[in-house]
Amino acid sequence: MQRLIELVDIHPGYPFRGKVAEVPGGRARVVQMKDVDKAGYVYWDKLVRTDLQGRREPDWLQVDDVLFLLRGNNNYALVLRDAPFPVVASPHFFLLRVKSSVPLLPGFLAWQLNQRSAQRYFDASAEGSWQRSIRRGILENLSLAIPDVETQKSVVGLADAVRLEVEAHNELIANRKQMLNSVASKILNTRR
C-alpha cells in the first residue's frame, strides 16, 4: 500500500474568483462540474470559453491527467483521454498527474479512486454539511494498492468494457422507449 502523494503530483484547479466569466473567443476553456459525468466523459463541446486572469501560470490539462471532483456528494475521478484545446480545471477539481518514476496507469488510478474502499474513505473524511468537500490532505493520505502494470492494464480493459456495455444497454433502452412512444402515438391517434 502506498499513499497517493507518493504516486502523483496534486494541483488545485485554476483559482477563479466567483463565476467563470464567459468570453466569446477567449483563449482558454474551463472544465466545470456540469461538464463531466461519473462514466468518465468530458463534454468538450459545452465548455465555457474565457480568458484567464491573474499571475498564476495555469496547469493546462493534458491527455492522461486525472481529474478528481473534490466538491459535492459524489467525489469521483476521471482520466482525460483527450485535451483538444487549451483547457483548465475549475476549483472544484484536483488535477492528479502520475509521477514519471511511478509505474501507475492513469486509468487504473481513476478506477481505484472510484472503488468502494476509496469512496468509503472519502465519505468518512468529507467536510461540510451544505456542500461536501474533500481537503487536499485527505486525498494525499489515501492508501492505494498498486499491482504490476499488466494487471493494471487488465483492470482498465475490463472497466472500459463494462462502460461500453452500459452505454450499449442505455442506447437499447432509449430505442425501446422511443418505439413504445411511437406505438402509443399511433394507437391514440387512430382512436380519434
What pLDDT digit, counting tens, does each position of 109-151 carry? 999 999 999 999 998 988 887 778 999 999 999 999 999 999 9
Q: Let me know: does 97 contact 8? Beta carbons within 8 Å.
A: yes
Q: Which three cell numbers stand for residue 52?
A: 484567464
The reported pLDDT for the residue numbered 142 is 96
Q: Residue 191 — very low, low, confident or very high, per pLDDT cuts 50/70/90?
A: low
Q: Let me know: does 16 contact 51? Beta carbons within 8 Å.
A: no
Q: Let me know: does 77 contact 97? Beta carbons within 8 Å.
A: no
pTM higher than 0.75, yes or no?
yes
Q: Let me know: does 139 contact 69? Beta carbons within 8 Å.
A: no
- Alpha helix locations (H) across 11-127? 106-113, 116-125
Calculate mean pLDDT across residues 68-75.
89
